[in-house]
Structure 1
Amino acid sequence: MTRYFTILFSALAALLMAGPAAAQVQIIQVGNLLTDAMSDPSGPATIIVRDGKIAEIRRGPASAINEPDAQLIDLSDKTVLPGLIDLHTHLSGDPGGDYWRAAIDPPEWYTLIAAKNARITARAGFTTVRDLGSRTDQVTQSLRRATADGVVAGPRIVTSARTIAIVGGHGDTSGFREDVNHVLGSGYTCTGPVECSQKVRKASKNGADLIKITATGGVLSQQGRGLEAHFTDDEMKAIVDTAHVLGLRVAAHAHGARGIEAAARAGVDTIEHGTYLDKQAADVMKANGTVLIPTLMAFKGISERLGQGVYTPVVEEKIRAVADTAKVFMGRAYRWGVPIAFGTDAGVFTHGRNAGEFALMVGQGLSNREAIASATTGAAKVLNMENQIGRIAVGFSADLIAVDGNPLDNVQILEKVDWVMVRGRVID
């Protein structure tokens, strides 16, 4: 019980300590400026921020600036680079195998957990996240507004809200008596193209920024059955076509190769995980411009908890089965030319460790520069926000982080971020 009160008070502190609205003018003195992953650090610079956006960048040592009411921020001993973007998080959840807690924890609990994790995520240097599947209705929609308004300290949030799944598949509630499963159901399962299309419209109506589907089975769900396609081709096509008509992109959780191929052929925008990707599925992804979000930290995080009684025997068996493939599949995708962007599945492992993904990506073949690009310019493009975030440029959102050293030389530097600004607000 003490642990839960500690989390509760931490979440309340995050609510109360988000800080005031962004100062009208901020002058940031930078020791080494890295404007984007494809550039090199350019040495000392001054960044002028007005109303949460980058108004001016002056190269060289700071000169006299006539802004008597400006807030001065001295980062003259730091490297400043764009805020990082994580395309796969679950802010309203913490790691563990206690799936049964959904039967007893109220929605308010998950809201407080989400507020806690939003601040932790921002302090880790991630100034924008895609949240792909919340525990209860309206949690991340409300948090999205709260972080945007400065009520809660946290990143910019793009959310799918609830996940669309097949009845009885990964993403549906299972593991209880039938009557309990029914009560705990999300209301977003579907059968047949018409009903699946309706669920997309329902998600849009309820404030989703994009659609998340579980296109295949999953590792952490209670079902022991395989990881191939869940939806029929017609169902997935109905989901994607409806989403795109509404201006929403589609992220598809997918493990098995044929399920990945089917989702990519249906036109989904991103494949999440992609564990058993093969050349045939990769070719379809390339042809359709489908981006892989590998979530390597998820596999690392769940493997760390094996043998501790955290997961059920069914889940442990699936984790062990996928372990070896998880160490190599992204490297294959990279060599086959599949576009890759950064996402971690934070929530499956402890929030705040998101930057551990960089070293894992480099370990499977990406250069430091490519890995950083995947979490900045590349991720911004996935969000259709490449003219707002992902680079340090005039007119862009003032999403900035500061570190010691040059992350292009050592990407693990990003695991210790010293200073963070989101939309012109410093995250203390």
Structure 2
Amino acid sequence: MLRNLLPVLALVPTAAQAETIYVRAGRLIDPESARVLTAQVLHVENGRVAAVTPDGPLPQGAKVVDWSAYTVLPGLIDCHVHLADVEQSNNVAEPLLHSAMEIAYIGARNARKTLMAGFTTVHDVGSFRAYADVELRNAIERGDVVGPRVSAVGAYVTIPGGGGEVTGFAPDVTVPADMRAGVVTNAEDTTRKVNALFQNGADSIKLIATGAVLAQGTEPGQIELTPEMIKAAVDVARQRGSWVTAHAHGAAGIKQAMGAGVRAIEHASLIDDEGIALAKAKGVWLDMDVYNGDFIAEVGKRDGWPADMLRKNDETTEAQRQGFRKAVKAGVRLSYGTDAGVFPHGLNARQFKYMVRYGMTPMQAIQSATTVSAELLGKSRDVGALSPGHYADMIAVSGDPLADITALETVAHVMKGGELVR
């Protein structure tokens, strides 16, 4: 008899699962409608928003989270982070100095910092240790680690010696195999490696289409992946119901990647007018890390980062920001991506003021880090908004970020899936 009852009991929600939480919001920023509502209550059931109503009497004994003194908005999204890796330093061989086991602990620490900063969802676009981001995502989903919802790519897809490789060390040093899981030499090899990434848990694919600012021996304007290699990756991703983003700095590389069918471009530092028009026409997202250049210039010079990295940063920073300004005016989809990991995790919100400085309104910047980024990730039904059905991922800040966007740099409270984590 007991055996027969077990499947039935499993379907009965526990008291905690069935519990309704009421979150009082003094001001509620709704990025879906670009409106601000005052004195609202969010009804949270089973970790999702069930209703949003004007504030008023609540049921006796109700569990209430009182954020009536704060501005409340959806949990933020960063579409370009590197959680499961060491942060950038002046030692180009730094990734070789840390074991896979150590990287796991580093990733856990970075994930917690990111969540506490109000970023409840991220796109982790690669770590040098293959699948470190996948395993971190899984650990967070199991509840073993505190962190944001993670969409992972598994490994960088890059040519030998390209922008996604560890470079700059002695020529007789052997790089561990798990640091070269995404190294490809032709279209056929790309198809095989991209399939392997998906088979081992990647959610989407990150291509290194051009050289990189922070990889020695490569140049940002230099095309690295061929159109055939990019298309091979895109074809595999589409077959698996997924998508591809491409790291691309140079104007020609950006247009080549968009022509081959990528969904988004990371950095887009040297994009030209033709590239902006193509992004608009194709509905491609640009994920432009417009804060990053100032951090590299300041800290890189202070800490003695390699001269060629600082030179490449100087050559791309202002060009990227002017491209961003033009893209805003053109109405291109601009997601929120910071390249956190180059700068310390948890400082992700520093980019907001740069986005406003270079052409966005504060509401547009907030939408970039909520609804626009959720759409890029294909997760609009779950994250990026607080209308009924979405996860109860939300943050509370003092002040009014629509009057002063830097209010988002200091988050007072964070809720993820109905659980108060800060």
Normalising by structure 2, report the TM-score: 0.91
Query: Aligned AA for 1:169?
Result: G
Distance (Å, rounded) in 2 between the aligned partners of 1:37 and 1:411: 18
Q: Does 1:96 align with 2:69?
A: no
- Aligned-pair identity in percent equals 35
Which residue of the other structure, out of 76, 89, 105, is the alignment partner of 1:112? 105
- The equivalent of 1:146 in structure 2 is 139
Aligned to 2:317: 323
2:44 match:
49
State the Cα distance separating 1:411 from its structure 2 match: 1.4
More off after superposition, 300-309 vs 240-249? 300-309
CA RMSD of aligned residues (A): 1.8
Return the letter of the residue paired with 2:25: V
Aligned counterparts of 1:172 and 1:58: Cα–Cα separation in 2: 51
Q: How far does the alpha carbon of each residue in 1:280-308 deviate from its partner, in whole angstroms, 9 at most, with x for none?
A: 22222222211100111222221122322
| Pair 1:202-2:196 in alignment | yes
Distance 1:372 1:202 in 2: 36
Matched ranges for 1:28-427 at <5 A: 28-36=23-31, 38-59=33-54, 61-66=55-60, 68=61, 70-92=62-84, 93-183=86-176, 185-427=179-421
- What CA distance in whole angstroms lies between the structure 2 residues aligned with 1:311 and 1:406? 37
**CA 1:159–1:226 in 2, change beyond 3 Å: closer, same or farther?**
closer
Cα contact 2:92–2:169 (8 A) shared by 1: no
The DSSP-based 3-state class of the residue aligned with 2:38 is: coil
SS in 2 for 1:284: helix
Aligned residues: 405
Cα deviation per residue 1:355-386 (whole Å; 9 max; x = unaligned)? 11111011111111111111111111101111
Equivalent residue for 1:15?
Answer: none
Q: Could you tell me which residue of structure 2 aligns to residue 14 of structure 1?
A: none
CA contact (8 A) 1:279 1:336 kept: no
2-structure distance, mates of 1:362, 1:334: 10
Q: Which AA in structure 2 matches 1:84?
A: L
Residues 39-63 of structure 1 show CA distances to partners (whole Å, capped at 9, x for unaligned) of 322111222212211122221x331
1:324 is aligned with what amino acid?
A: E
TM-score w.r.t. length of structure 1: 0.90
Deviations, residues 12-52 of structure 1 (Å, cap 9, x unaligned): xxxxxxxxx98843221221222325332211122221221
Greater shift, 253-262 or 128-137, is seen at 128-137
Q: Any unmatched runs of 5+ in structure 1?
A: 1-20
* Matched letter for residue 147 of structure 1: I
For residues 163 and 223 of structure 2, the distance between their equivalents in structure 1, rounded to whole angstroms, comes to 11
- For the residue of structure 1 that corresponds to 2:384, the secondary structure is coil
Distance 1:178 1:277 in 2: 34
Task: Give secondary structure in 2 for the equivalent of 1:302.
Answer: helix
